[in-house]
Amino acid sequence: MDTPPLVMGFVAPSGSGKTTLMEQVIAHLAGSGLKVGAIKHGHHPADPDIPGKDTHRFRQAGAVSVLFACPQRWFMIQDLEGIPEPTLEEQIRRLAGHDIILVEGYKEEDHPKIVILRRGAGEHDLHRQLSQVVAVATDDPAMETELPCLPLNDPEAVATFIRARMPRR
């Protein structure tokens, strides 16, 4: 039986650098040979499709689902049209076969999380409000918490912390 991937979330107030840190951590984890998946949750509609491209033209013409495939990758765009968005658990299942899945957002879900606290970015007690917080990444040397404090500006240290939490394969 395959070992399920480690799931690790990144949560923070807006403007704290979640995306930047997660991007850098992905680079370190992937660079160490791990197969990394990423999930991003947004609160506002987003569209990765590019106007003028065939997939966009098909959607504009009325297709609810468009799947694109080529020898290097495939992707699918699915308009929900009133059905619920897939749960985090459903999305994780779709990424089966990865070593690790990093999640940006979904702060209320039940998975391990690293809370990012940047000086001057508000909500300095976010790590106390959420479940399953395993560490705080911060640029505040005076941060007081029982949790491990990771250096916010050292993505390699954050990646090392995450790697240490992975089950043996």
Domain CATH number, residue 115 = 3.40.50.300
DSSP 103: E
Question: Domain for residue 36, yes or no?
Answer: yes
Question: Domain for residue 73, yes or no?
Answer: no
d(CA 12, CA 19): 10
Question: Domain for residue 143, yes or no?
Answer: yes
d(CA 40, CA 43): 10
Question: Domain for residue 1, yes or no?
Answer: no
Question: Domain for residue 66, yes or no?
Answer: no
How many distinct structural domains can be found in the chain?
Answer: 1
Question: Domain for residue 76, yes or no?
Answer: no
Q: What is the pLDDT along the chain (169 residues), one digit of tens a residue?
A: 578 899 999 999 888 889 999 999 999 999 999 999 999 987 766 677 788 888 888 888 888 888 888 899 888 888 888 889 899 999 999 998 999 999 999 999 999 999 999 887 666 788 999 999 999 999 998 888 999 999 999 999 999 999 999 977 5
Question: Domain for residue 21, yes or no?
Answer: yes
Buried-exposed string 92-109: b where 16+ CB fall within 10 A, e elsewhere:
beebeebbbbbbbbbbeb
Pair 126, 117: CB distance under 8 Å = yes
pLDDT at 78: 87
> 31 lies in which domain range?
6-44+84-164
pLDDT at 41: 86
Angle ∠(162,165,168) on CA atoms, nearest 5:
125
Q: 77 forms bridges with which residues in the sheet?
A: 66
Question: Domain for residue 64, yes or no?
Answer: no
pLDDT at 151: 96
pLDDT digits (tens, 9 = 90+) for 7-34: 999 999 888 889 999 999 999 999 999 9
d(CA 151, CA 138): 6
Distances (CA, A) of 24 to 102, 135, 149, 164: 12, 17, 18, 17
pLDDT at 123: 67
